[in-house]
Structure 1
Amino acid sequence: MKESDQRHATLRINESEEAALMELLSFMYSGKLSTTSPSLLLDVLMAADKFEVVSCMRHCSQLLRSLPMTTESALLYLDLPCSVSMASAVQPLTDAAKDYLAKSYRDITKFQDEMLGLPLSGIEAILSSDDLQVASEDAIYDFVLKKLRKVLTCNDLDHEIASKLVTDALFFKAEAPHRQRALSADESSHRRFTERAYKYRPLKVVEFERPHPQCIVYLDLTRDECANLFPSGRVYSQAFHLGGQGFFLSAHCNLDQHSLFHCFGLFLGMQEKGSISFTVEYEFAARTKSGEFVSKYKGFYTFTGGKAVGYRNLFGIPWTSFVAEDSLFFINGTLHLRAELTIKQPQPPSLQ
């Protein structure tokens, strides 16, 4: 609020602004507000922004953050029409609103219909979170397509910018894994493509059909993801297919076979339950700091629906040694695992 040389000043306000302005004047003299009403606090915040009373804006922001938040209030806080110079005063409030929405709608599959009705600011806050509970980025992609079909006719969408963002994302998705990692590291232009922490960890799969049905599956886990498994957690990969059947990898923190210490285990599971049965030759390997994958466990297993095979102590060392800073198996904080699977077709009996 700028001072004037005039001894008397006249301030004209709308009738609806009176209560908020009186609270603002009271704060300027006493440093306190008499209301805890969310709607009035929001009006006071707007009045404080209008007259550039930053201390009151911060106080209102703090009070609003201390009150129970709802989806409706969170969306209001995201769209506060504060001036650019005053935006920092309410940034903690908008951050809290984003965090509330991200946590409330973290399971996109469960709340998909409700999310489709949210404005774009709410959708952006949710999809910016790294803690979404989704099987893969494909689930998010499908949701965004549904949302786009609803909003493409809206006047508040910049079609040129939207087209560019979608095109950039599609080109990124088509890149080879090593190029995706390089682009993700470029914070100036591709930060928005950084991989999330998925409910089911993404895989990289190479498939072969001849001479036998075969696939090579790569699973990466960060040191933090592994550490969070202690003492009895597990994390599952996305599904992949071999011989027409669905499989998955799962990493565990469990006790060794003699229950003496915790250790890292890796397992291969078959999704479908039923009478289908076939034999898989498998090999688990991990990349060491030499850059090479080292075989850790291999064998044959006859799968039937719902069964799994693996090794409780893949590296043959206690958990503390596995996650230690000098561990041989973490390269720049990431554990690189590989599973090579082959279906050995039964040979027809020879004719005599």
Structure 2
Amino acid sequence: MNSTTVIAQKWYRINSIILMATSQYFRKCFESSYEQEEKVLTLHLKESEEPAFRKLLEFMHATSSTLATNPFKLSSAMMVAKQFEQQFWVKKCKEGLINRFKPLQHPELMSLLSLAAVIEILRSDDLDVQSEDDVYDFTLEWALRNYPSKQRRREVLEAELGPLIRFHYMSYKKLVQAVTNYYEYFSREFILKAAMTAVVAKQVSPDSHFVERAYKHKPLMVSEEFQPSRFCTIFLTFTRDECLKLIQSSPIRSMDFEFHDGEFFIQVLNKLKEERHIITYLNP
């Protein structure tokens, strides 16, 4: 069955079999059309969504796989693909947005990103950032630029974006800053709960609800003791891939931590002792 989709005064020839195979949304639409013996599928879109929808149709029919060349169009394409449940295109657009435009490193792109796009970005485990502190700063700056009303800004941050910030991977210094300077962004109850949960997770065990992002500065856990004298124990965990990087002489740097009024970090690297072929991990 070949059908025609109408958008305002525009008609598109589409192949229902192809669309049903790659989108749950279209599968439900066409199954309903079959039951009612309809030959035309009508969709209602905003005018601003039409270019992104046309691009989605081209991708689904394998006539184009080229991503948009600016972050606004790429963001729109990702949102339309999500609306029509085309998960592969959502993933492709998200990867393009994060890897090509690196929105967290370019503040000038913030005004081009919709709320839905920022949500998708914050859900990613592959953000190119030094630490979760950067994610926190980006989220607050984006909200400040896009929501002048403090009340609306708080609503968006607490309901949509705040739960996607991985507070337990933030540094203690940033957590203190968050609790101290929360008024423009969060309610006191929200930020205190987030910060206290993060502190407990750092001292006991990592929160399994979120995995680590691809941080340049690896998160760590700090256990501080005061008896018989003041000392701290640092915990770092490594994945198999990270261990392989160490073998290949790629050092891994931890996030900063404070102890005895000083600020420190740990850099883990390997040194091959040729005479014994032993890998030793040095913590300078």
Structure 1 length-normalised TM: 0.50
Query: Separation in 1 of the partners of 2:50 and 2:159?
Result: 41
> How far does residue 98 in structure 1 lie from its aligned partner after superposition?
0.6
Identify the match of residue 137 of structure 2 among 113, 117, 142.
142
Across the aligned residues of Structure 1 and Structure 2, the Cα RMSD in angstroms comes to 4.1
Query: Separation in 2 of the partners of 1:194 and 1:141?
Result: 16
Query: Runs of 5+ in structure 1 lacking a partner?
Result: 4-10, 32-38, 49-55, 185-190, 269-352
Query: Separation in 2 of the partners of 1:77 and 1:151?
Result: 20
2:95 maps to 99
After superposition, the C-alpha distances for 1:125-165 in whole angstroms (9 at most, x for unaligned) are 3222222233322222222222222344479x696564246
Structure index of larger Rg: 1
Percent identity (aligned): 25
Q: In structure 2, do the counterparts of structure 1 residues 164 and 179 end up closer, same or farther at CA, with 3 Å as the change threshold?
A: farther
Does the aligned pair in 2 maintain the 1:235–1:251 contact within 8 Å? yes
Q: In structure 2, do the counterparts of structure 1 residues 198 and 96 end up closer, same or farther at CA, with 3 Å as the change threshold?
A: same
Q: In structure 2, do the counterparts of structure 1 residues 247 and 171 end up closer, same or farther at CA, with 3 Å as the change threshold?
A: closer
1:177 maps to 202
Identify the match of residue 132 of structure 1 among 127, 135, 138.
127
Q: In structure 2, do the counterparts of structure 1 residues 201 and 210 end up closer, same or farther at CA, with 3 Å as the change threshold?
A: same
SS in 1 for 2:279: strand
Does the aligned pair in 1 maintain the 2:59–2:65 contact within 8 Å? no
Does the aligned pair in 2 maintain the 1:240–1:248 contact within 8 Å? yes
1:217 maps to 234
Q: Does 1:234 align with 2:230?
A: no
Higher strand share: 1
Q: What number of residue pairs does the alignment pair up?
A: 221
Counting only pairs closer than 5 Å after superposition, residues 22-61 of structure 1 correspond to structure 2 as 24-25=12-13, 42=52, 44=54, 58-59=60-61
Query: Separation in 2 of the partners of 1:130 and 1:224?
Result: 15
Moved over 6 A (4+): none
Higher helix share: 2
1:76 maps to 76
1:127 maps to a residue whose letter is L
Query: Separation in 2 of the partners of 1:153 and 1:247?
Result: 37
Identify the match of residue 269 of structure 2 among 235, 242, 252.
252
Q: In structure 2, do the counterparts of structure 1 residues 221 and 152 end up closer, same or farther at CA, with 3 Å as the change threshold?
A: same
Query: Separation in 2 of the partners of 1:241 and 1:179?
Result: 18
Q: Does 1:265 align with 2:281?
A: yes
Does the aligned pair in 2 maintain the 1:102–1:125 contact within 8 Å? no
1:304 maps to none
SS in 1 for 2:267: strand
Does the aligned pair in 2 maintain the 1:102–1:127 contact within 8 Å? no
After superposition, the C-alpha distances for 1:76-110 in whole angstroms (9 at most, x for unaligned) are 2122188x6xx24x3221211111112135573x3
Query: Separation in 1 of the partners of 2:143 and 2:96?
Result: 23
Q: Does 1:201 align with 2:201?
A: no
After superposition, the C-alpha distances for 1:270-325 in whole angstroms (9 at most, x for unaligned) are xxxxxxxxxxxxxxxxxxxxxxxxxxxxxxxxxxxxxxxxxxxxxxxxxxxxxxxx
Query: Separation in 2 of the partners of 1:96 and 1:80?
Result: 13
1:229 maps to a residue whose letter is L
Q: In structure 2, do the counterparts of structure 1 residues 209 and 14 end up closer, same or farther at CA, with 3 Å as the change threshold?
A: closer
Query: Separation in 2 of the partners of 1:154 and 1:95?
Result: 32
Query: Separation in 1 of the partners of 2:261 and 2:7?
Result: 71
After superposition, the C-alpha distances for 1:11-45 in whole angstroms (9 at most, x for unaligned) are 98755x2xxx3xx33x65xx9xxxxxxx9975646
